[in-house]
A = this chain, B = another copy of it.
Amino acid sequence: MSTLDAHFHGRHGAFSLDAAFSLPMHGVSALFGPSGCGKTTILRSIAGLNRMAGHLRVGDAVWQDAQRAMPAHARAVGYVFQEASLFAHLSVGANLDYAIRRAKAGNAGPTREALVDSLGLAPLLPRMPARLSGGERQRVAIARALLTRPQVLLMDEPLSALDGPARDDILGVLEALPAVSPAPIVYVSHAIDEVARLADTLVVLDAGKVMASGPTNAILTRTDLPLAHGEHAGAVFRGRIAAHHADAHLTEVDSDGGRLLVSAPAAPAGRALRLRIAARDVSIALSRPTDSSIVNHLPATVVDISPDPHPGHRLVRLAVGDTVLLARITEHSRARLALAPGLAVWALIKGVAVR
C-alpha cells in the first residue's frame, strides 16, 4: 500500500493528542496548525523520538503497533529539525559522511555528489558548522537527511529560524526536492504561505486533533477552516505551460480555471506548474476592463460570500472553470457591486505565483 497511516494518542503534561491521518507515499504532505497544536509531537512520534501510544504503518512496513515500536534509529526516516542540528564537532563534509555510513541500504536516493551539486554545498564541505549562516546550515541538514536514504523525510518548520533571503533560498530548495528524492515529505508548518507553496496534501490540526485533511486547494479554500481567513489566504492549483513568450518574459498557462499569463522562467510547453493566487490579489469586476495594467481577467461565478475576521471585509469564493478561487474585498465594494451567489463576474488577478 502506498500510504503512511498513523494514529497517535496520549498525553504530554496538560496536552492531549489524538490524531489519525493517512498520507500518500509521494509528494509533500503538510501538517498545519497553530503553535502548540501538536505538530512536532506527531513528527517526533513518526520518527520514534517519543513514546506516544498508537500505530504507524509506512508503506508495507508496520513501524509501531500496540505490541511493539521500532526504535528511532531503526526507522528509515530523514529528519530536518527546526533549528541547527548539525554536529558541531564535524565539518560539513563529515556531517554528510556520517549519514552515508549509516544509510539504509536498499532504498533509493540521490548520491552525495548529486546533492552537493544541486544544493551548492561544494564550497562549504571543509567548514565547521559554527561558521555557516542559518540558510547554509539548513541546506546541509537537508542534504544529510536525504543521504540516509529515508523512506519518509520529516521536516519540522525548517524555515522558521531563517529570515528574508535565506528563507527564499531554502524554499526554492524544498520546492525542488520531490524531483531529487523519491521519499515522501511530511512537512510541519504554521505558515500558510509555505504550505501553499509546497504541499500537495494538507492535514489541519488543532489542539491535538485533526480538523480536516485532503488535497491542498480543497482545504485552503474551505471558508469553514481558519486557513481561508489569514493574510496569506488564497488558492493553489495545477496548470500546464501552453507557450512561453521570451520577449515579454511571460508564460501562458492553461489551468482548470482557464488560460493565465504569468511571469515564469522559460520552460517547454506541457511542463506542469503549481499556481498560487492570493485572496488579496483577486479583485472582482462586473465587466471586463480593457485599459488596466492588470493582465489576467477570468470569467467567474460567485459561489458564496463569507465574513472575514476583519469586519469591513468579505471573503468571496469564485468558481473559475473547475477551480475555486478566493477573493478578499471590502463589504463596501460587495454592496456597490451587489455581489451575490450565482452572479457572473470577472476575476481580476493582479499576481500569480508560480512554482
Task: Tell me the A residues contacting B by CB distance below 8 Å.
Answer: 34-35, 133, 160-161, 163-166, 190-191, 248-250, 261, 263, 280-281, 283-287, 289, 291-295, 310-313, 327, 329-335, 337, 339, 348, 350-351
Contact = CB atoms under 8 A, between A and B. Distances in A.
Q: Residue among A248, A310, A329, A334 with the most chain B CB within 10 A?
A: A248
A350 B280 contact: yes
Given A35-B166, A248-B335, 16 more contacts: A35-B165, A161-B161, A163-B190, A164-B190, A248-B331, A249-B313, A249-B331, A280-B350, A283-B350, A285-B289, A285-B291, A285-B293, A289-B292, A294-B333, A294-B348, A350-B350
Contacts of A284: 292-293
19 contacts: A35-B133, A35-B165, A35-B166, A163-B191, A248-B331, A249-B312, A250-B332, A261-B332, A280-B281, A280-B350, A283-B294, A285-B291, A285-B293, A287-B291, A289-B289, A289-B292, A293-B330, A295-B330, A295-B332
Tallying the copies of this chain within the complex gives 2
A263 B313 contact: yes
A313 B190 CA distance: 31
Nearest to A191: B164
A337 B280 CA distance: 24
Contacts of A295: 330, 332-333
B280 A351 contact: yes
